[in-house]
Structure 1
Amino acid sequence: MNFESYQDLLERRRALRLDPAASHLERLVANTSCRKLCKYRQSRLLEAAQGRRSLKRYRRDFLDYRVPLTTLLNEDGIRTSSRQMMESITKRFYTNLCRSSTPVSNLLFPLEKCHQEFYLLKYAEQADHEGSHGSATGPCFG
């Protein structure tokens, strides 16, 4: 007998309980399928215990491994899980994101001057840090 996962059955049963248009027969089928799955799991565990087999392995077989699938929505709003399609969607998205109709303005100062200011600020911070230790001139090793 092919049993569906327990979580799917419980979710379907919850949805049927909340659905006012669901028939009584649908609710009964959902309840009995959940009960059958519970009984099946209990019988398998009992069988493993009586046969002195690993209960841990049987429980692990029953776990519902729900690996979330990575999906992306394309431009039409359709989910895609194919790696090639996801790569093409991502490429198009970032290409459109990085494209800009406004030109990049020129820098106000040359690049060398920017580096000089950066090093002057770093030197001033280092000198301030060394002076706070109360040591004489020279690098701070503390």
Structure 2
Amino acid sequence: MKKPFCGILLIVGVMPLSTLTADASQLACPDVVQAESIQFMKVKSEWAARAVGDFRLSSAGFNDGPPEKLAALKPSLVASRGKQSLETWVFDPSEFSGGLWLVCGYGGPAGQITLAKQLPSSYSVCSVRYTPSVKAGAQNIAITCR
């Protein structure tokens, strides 16, 4: 019984990496939220409000439902090497009553501004890779889901 199992491992071991990741989707958050796109709706009449500068992408993650639910999901695994980090989420799509949402944060680690969009319910694993950006307060972020 063990010999067929070892044969299967050998076959998987020699498969090209592109075969293993062929069904992966690359997702992307916009790199910047431009200052002129921001509107202030509830500012007292005696105050003038404006965004001083653009907001650069600083974080990405996943929510159970739209952002107003404040239901951020914690990564299943976090790994770091030097200045790079990788966060991985493992999902059971049947557990998301509000659907799975990608949330992009701008303006530092707290994500003072967020953009979000609903993702297909077929995703079961997503990873976010962070690398430092040359732009202050920003991160280069690569998002892969399958």
- TM-score tier after normalising by the smaller chain length: under 0.3
**Bigger share in helix:** 1
What TM-score do the two structures reach when normalised by structure 2?
0.14
**Bigger share in strand:** 2
Q: Which is greater in Rg?
A: 1
